[in-house]
Structure 1
Amino acid sequence: MAEGAVLPAEVLKDPVVGRSLWAEARGRLVRNKAALTSVFVLAFIALACIFGPFFTGHPFDKVYPDYVKVAASATAYPTPDMIEPNVERVAARVRAKAENVVVEGDKISVTLVSPRPIDERLLAYFERSDLFGAAKVSEKSDEGKHLVVDVPIKRNYFFFGTDTNGRDLLTRTMKAGQISLAIGLLATFVAIVMGVIYGATSGYLGGRTDLVMMRAVDVLYSLPFIFFVIMLVVFFGRNFVLMFIAVGAVEWLDMARIVRGQTLSIKRQEYVQAAEALGVETRGIIRRHVIPNTLGPVVVYMTLLVPKVILLESFLSFLGLGVQEPNTSLGVLISEGAKNIQGATWMLLYPSITLVAILFCLNFIGDGLRDALDPKDR
């Protein structure tokens, strides 16, 4: 277009709408296929952990004594080879011998034989079993010494198998995911809040105040983390709140140093100096100008801190310092699976896959956010 040319009025009538840096970062994040896929996978895992236990049909703390350490299977239990031995076991408690065991779909017909009349009240042992329902006498002979009994079969699905106590591993893995994700998110939230406020205050005030505050951080760094957790266990016992406090109260130190470094450069910017010249209070400058401009590195570090916290919780649970029964976490399940790896590999396999999937998703999301918020790529 020639110099001095006038643009048509149709072109100038609509105002030009700019894009914020956060909108551009969101666009770059959406174009990152690995990060976007990880977001959907992590959301699916989180929803499965939250709502899945309501649909498995097994409470996470329900014990099935007859299904201890059964293998993962897509077919219903009991299997055909489990029925007759359990019928004989229950018949022995009834003080009778089981003969002519016939399986017809979800019902069993069995003849109970005893040298003495069989007390029909003892047939309640069938219902107390995890395999059978309430037994009904269909035929009686020889003064009650021969009973033909119809027994319904209780069908149960254990897609991930069961543990050493006979609890459904799928439900417990979902419950463990709930607790591990909750500890990871809550402890990370505490670390972010404490670290951002402490680091921003220290970096902005500077001078002797900054020196004293950062030396306090160095002192806390010197304390051994495991000793700190053991001390909390001694005073407060093992519980969910303990893990939340112990991990969150340690991980904020790194966040404080990161935010302090960002604040040292931000406080020299023109908009901060303009706010100071206008008489804005120190608290207002930190809240409205310093902290919002450190959120880029903070968001990236947060996605990397969540998997770190989950690994720390899993490590502490592996050592026996984690949550208490009947609650569980991924670290507890992996610890139990490692003890039974020779005879029950599924106890280690499925919790490990869940933990690895969560950690990979969080790391991919962190990498995507780092690339999206990198000012060199703008």
Structure 2
Amino acid sequence: MTDTAAPGRSLWATALLRLRRNRAAMASLVILALIACLAIFGPRLAPHGYAEVYPEFVKVAPSLRPYPQEDQVIPAAERALKRARVELGEITIDNGTVRIPLTSPREIDPRLARYLDRSDVFTEARIVDLSPDGKSAVAEARVQQLYFLMGTDANGRDLLSRILISLRISLTIGLLATAVALTIGVVYGATAGFLGGRIDNLMMRVVDILYSLPFVFFVILLVVFFGRNVVLMFIAVGAVEWLDMARIVRGQTLSLRRREFVQAAEAMGVSGGAIIRRHIIPNTLGTVIIYMTLLIPKVILLESFLSFLGLGVQEPLTSLGVLIAEGAKNMRNAPYMLIYPAATMTVLLFALNFLGDGLRDALDPKDR
């Protein structure tokens, strides 16, 4: 009878098992997956366009009931027909249809219905019951039912649709800048740590010099240079945020280069570039993944800070930072404009940080 050895677990399988046991990290992963789905599909499924303006519904409060509410219909009809130069009779509402008696000393033009169609409140407007002399008639129109579950902003745009598109923009910016930062930082740090000696010393002195540059001033220069191209600007921001990653990977590489598998590869004549690509970088991925989950919220906060200063995303696009800046300006009379974007930002950052902590615990070799 032969003994069959049980198959061993790889380090990544062990780390995944440990991550699954971390409830906070798994809950954060589910929340991030939901946020990603909302960012990708939410703007298409939203009831309103993120740039669609409703002048009749500026700063309306969040409500589960449709707008306009009953007491808003008659004033809206009076405002819509104010320029029509006709006298209005008693306005009545029946089953979502508004009827407005009209009289005029001159013949009534049927095109007056356009005044109602131009309003956000009414649709399918028409002139009916026109008298034989054309001086009296009835205007009919359907009352639109618009839902603003999170209210509207200072320009009359649906806040829910704005938050959904802001999630897409903020996550795109965070992932784009993080990808650039990780690519540069990992390659630079691994190269410096592996080569060592004077080259390592020279490369790290360059990092120290870049650390000394005033960041905000550098970002202002980027805005002047790239204009309002958000993608190019945050690629450039990612090209600055790689400094921490370079130091972390360099430290990992200095310990890895003394390991037996690296020395064996050198003895077999494998080139330095191949050793970095096949052995050094793959063995630093655990640290890189952890840092990535912490760098994304850092970049999102940075984007929020720049947008708060007016240097980030520009209209009609928006981001969480832009929405928070607008909400801060209207905090007294429309607090929901600050509460909803700030809550979204808080949930996103907490989920990323909890996931990062869970990955750090799962990939920590001391706890295996």
Q: Which whole-Å deviations, capped at 9, do the CAs of 1:210-262 have from their partners, x for residues lacking one? A: 01000000010111111111011112212222332232011100000000011
Distance across 2 between alignment mates of 1:56 and 1:62: 11
User: For 1:193-232, what aligned pairs fall within 5 Å after superposition?
Assistant: 193-232=183-222
1:279 paired residue number: 269
User: 2:6 aligned with 1:34, yes or no?
Assistant: no
**Per-residue deviation, 1:123:** 1.7
Q: Is the contact made by 1:161 and 1:169 (CA closer than 8 Å) also made in structure 2?
A: yes
User: 2:237 aligned with 1:247, yes or no?
Assistant: yes
Structure 1 gap segments, 5+ residues each? 1-7
User: For 1:38-57, what aligned pairs fall within 5 Å after superposition?
Assistant: 38-57=28-47
**Per-residue deviation, 1:72:** 1.2
Q: Is the contact made by 2:226 and 2:233 (CA closer than 8 Å) also made in structure 1?
A: no
Q: Relative to structure 2, which stretch is displaced further, 235-244 or 207-216? A: 235-244
Q: Relative to structure 2, which stretch is displaced further, 305-314 or 84-93? A: 84-93
**Per-residue deviation, 1:15:** 4.8
User: 2:254 aligned with 1:296, yes or no?
Assistant: no
Distance across 2 between alignment mates of 1:70 and 1:113: 33
1:5 paired residue number: none
User: For 1:54-69, what aligned pairs fall within 5 Å after superposition?
Assistant: 54-69=44-59
**Per-residue deviation, 1:155:** 1.2
Q: Is the contact made by 2:58 and 2:153 (CA closer than 8 Å) also made in structure 1?
A: yes
Q: Is the contact made by 2:211 and 2:243 (CA closer than 8 Å) also made in structure 1?
A: yes
Give the partner amino acid of 2:248: I
Distance across 2 between alignment mates of 1:203 and 1:154: 66
- TM-score, normalization: structure 2? 0.97
User: 2:259 aligned with 1:269, yes or no?
Assistant: yes
1:91 paired residue number: 81
Aligned residues: 368
What is the DSSP-based 3-state SS (H/G/I as helix, E as strand, rest coil) of the residue aligned with 1:83?
helix
Distance across 1 between alignment mates of 2:245 and 2:315: 33
Distance across 2 between alignment mates of 1:243 and 1:46: 23
Q: Is the contact made by 2:165 and 2:319 (CA closer than 8 Å) also made in structure 1?
A: yes
Q: Which whole-Å deviations, capped at 9, do the CAs of 1:286-319 have from their partners, x for residues lacking one? A: 1111111111111111100000000000100000
- TM-score, normalization: structure 1? 0.94
Distance across 2 between alignment mates of 1:331 and 1:242: 18
Distance across 2 between alignment mates of 1:180 and 1:116: 57
Distance across 1 between alignment mates of 2:128 and 2:173: 55
Distance across 2 between alignment mates of 1:113 and 1:31: 75
Distance across 1 between alignment mates of 2:149 and 2:42: 13
2:62 paired residue number: 72
Q: Relative to structure 2, which stretch is displaced further, 367-376 or 340-349? A: 340-349
1:174 paired residue number: 164
Q: Is the contact made by 1:52 and 1:174 (CA closer than 8 Å) also made in structure 2?
A: yes
What is the DSSP-based 3-state SS (H/G/I as helix, E as strand, rest coil) of the residue aligned with 1:365?
helix
2:101 paired residue number: 111
User: For 1:126-137, what aligned pairs fall within 5 Å after superposition?
Assistant: 126-137=116-127
1:309 paired residue number: 299
**Per-residue deviation, 1:142:** 7.3
Give the partner amino acid of 2:265: A
Distance across 1 between alignment mates of 2:228 and 2:127: 51
Q: Is the contact made by 1:91 and 1:97 (CA closer than 8 Å) also made in structure 2?
A: no
Structure 2 gap segments, 5+ residues each? none
Q: Relative to structure 2, which stretch is displaced further, 67-76 or 89-98? A: 89-98
Kindly, what percent of the aligned residue pairs are identical?
A: 61
